[in-house]
Structure 1
Amino acid sequence: MSDTNTIRRVFERNVEALEKRPSIGQSTGSTTVRLRNGTTCVITNGSKELVCDVGREQGGNDEGPGPGVLERGALGSCLAMGYSMWAAYLDIPVDHIEVHVESDFDARAMFGVGKNPPGFKEIRYDVMIESEADEETLQELIEKADAHSPVLDDFTRPVPVKRRVHIQPSRGLHTAGE
């Protein structure tokens, strides 16, 4: 488990390295998603794998959390990690961090019913921090961490999305009715 001193040392080392050589902070992430069994997706990133699916009420196999759960989880975990790292870096004692993320959505649009967009209508998050530090210090910590949260930034700033389609002829693995 990463302790506060380790987190602080790594944070400081990364800040120093990025200040000396900004180019090492530039990168491209790549994740592959393969559909299997109708709706179940296997998400692979390097040596890590995770399964995503939808519930049976949506025609799925219910083999894992759905995409909306992963979106909320990505935001909440990025925020929680950020609070932990910034607290360690700023030497603010923290005993417990929890982030609760809610989203409002209208599932009708996903099925082509209604005119609302298919995505989230609103996202809210509650931050719970247990600490000996005073409230002002913790508010400053939260503001600083939120300002540097990559996933929060992805949700709040329009990010260009580009699609490329590669169509390949079928290998004849499926028969009619499958």
Structure 2
Amino acid sequence: MSLTKDTRTSILDAAQDLVQRQSISGVSFQELAKRTGIKKGSMYYHFESKDDLTLALLERATIELRESFERGEGKTPKQRLAYYFNIYRLYVIPSEKLCPGGAFAGEWDKLSEPVQEQVKRLLMAQSKGLKSVIAAGVETGDFNDQGQSLDELTQWIVSCIQGSLLVCRIYDSKQSFESAVKVINSYLMPSGHY
């Protein structure tokens, strides 16, 4: 197994970093070529267009997210929920980034329909994985649904986390995220178990 990344993966890594920090409009083939050490013309060998690159980036993020939820299936619902929060706490917030899906919200109307659909698939993968965590927790008694449906709880948590990431970036502080996590945990955990 080679320890060096292939060129396509290097391009996707650089593009993801730019998207999460600046949005898709901050991504140019010229900048990606500079960051990856290849010629701008060579970029078109790997990606025919910016949309092609964007779709590949979002597809990769969707696959990685699904795999992440699958890896957690042997853990307790509380451990799985903590892991979900830690994805943001450990990898997104310290780097002052938005999540790959949320990074596209500010330019939503400028995105092509295929890109919009792939962003939706990424968020649906997040919601589906999180819903399975909540369902398992309700079933085991680790979580209290507070009379809400699994869909409502899932959408609330996703919205809280995505919104808190925006606020964290604006204030350059992870306090909004930590507050959201605390409230979500206190809402879901049966009395005295948080």
Same fold (TM over 0.5): no
Higher relative contact order (CA 8 A, sep 6+): 2
Higher CA-based Rg = 1
The two structures have a TM-score, normalised by structure 1, of 0.28
- Kindly indicate which of the two structures has a greater share of residues assigned to strand: 1
